[in-house]
Structure 1
Amino acid sequence: MTRVLLIGIKPEAVDFSDPDLPPGTTSEKIAAGIDATLSDMKARGWEAAFCSILTDDSAEATIAASLAEHWDCIVIGGGIRVPSRALALFERVINAVHRGAPKTPIAFNTSPNDSADAAARWLRRGAEQPTGAE
C-alpha cells in the first residue's frame, strides 16, 4: 500500500499574526483542510498520516519519530514553507526529512486541500523510474 506523510504545523500553534498568512486563516480552517486532505489520500487507496509539529526545537525529533516508518512520499505543508518568518523552521524540516528519509520524494502543496495531488505528482514519477534508479 502507498504511504504518504503530511508534515505541518499543529493548527493551534500557527502564528496568526504573521502577515504572510492568507486573511481569515484560523486553526479550525487549517485542521479542516488537513482532515480533508487525509480523507482524499485515503480515498485514493493510500495510507496517510499527519505529522503535527510545533515551531520550536522539538520539530526535528517529532519528524524523526514519524520517519522511523517507511513512507513513499512526504508532503511538506505551506504553513512551513510560505511565511517568511518560518524560513528557519523550513530549513530544519527539510534537513530532518533528508536525514530520516534521504531517498523518499518530497512534495509541496499550495494549500492543505491539494496535498494529495502534490504527493501524486511524485508517486507517479517514482512509478516511472526504472528499478534501482535514484
Structure 2
Amino acid sequence: MTVTVIQIGLDPDLIDYSSPEFAQFAGLSKDVLRAANDENVVGLRAAGYRVDNCLIDFGAAGAEKAGEWLRAKRYDAVLIGAGIRLVAGNTLLFESIVNIAHATQPGCRFVFNQAAQATPGDIRRWYPDPQGAIR
C-alpha cells in the first residue's frame, strides 16, 4: 500500500522573515522556503509517495486549515515544518496540529524536518519503501 504523507508548513508568503523569530534561520527567505517546500513534494512524489502539501497561516486560522486537511483523509506520515515547531510564538499552533493529528490519524508517524530544505530523507526514516504503509 502506498505511503500517504501530509506536509504541513507555514505559507512562505505570510512570514515576516525580518522578525526576530525567523531571523534565527540564516538565509531563509520566501523564495528559499518555497523552493524547499516544492522540491520536497516533487522529490517524494517522484519516489512513489503520495503527498499532500498543506500551507497554513499562523494561529487559530492555521490550526483550523490543518485540521480540515487532517480530517479529510488518512495519512501514514504527518510532517510538521520547522517554522511551526521551532518558533516559540508558534507553540500553540504546533500543539494544536499535534493534537488534531493524534485524534484524526491514529497510528500515523510524526516526522520533523531539520531545516528549510528539501529533505525527503525525513519521511524515509520511517517509511524507506514508498509502498510500505503499515496500516
**TM-score band, normalised by the shorter chain?**
0.7 to 0.9
Q: Which structure 1 residue ranges, 4+ long, deviate > 4 Å from structure 2?
A: none
Residue pairs, 1:12-91, within 5 angstroms: 12-16=13-17, 17-20=19-22, 21-67=24-70, 68-91=72-95
Contact 2:21 2:88 (8 Å CA) reproduced: no
What is the match of residue 111 of structure 1? 115
1:19 is displaced (CA, Å) by 3.9
Among all aligned residue pairs of Structure 1 and Structure 2, give the percentage whose two residues are the same amino acid.
24
Determine helix, strand or coil for the equivalent of 2:20: coil
- TM-superposed CA distance for 1:24, in Å, is 2.6
TM-score by length of 1: 0.83
Higher RCO, 1 or 2 (CA under 8 Å, sep at least 6)? 2
Aligned-residue CA RMSD (Å): 2.2
Q: Which runs of 5+ in 1 are unaligned?
A: none
Report the alpha carbon displacement of residue 34 of structure 1 after superposing the two structures with TM: 0.4
User: Which consecutive unaligned segments of at least 5 residues does structure 2 have?
Assistant: none
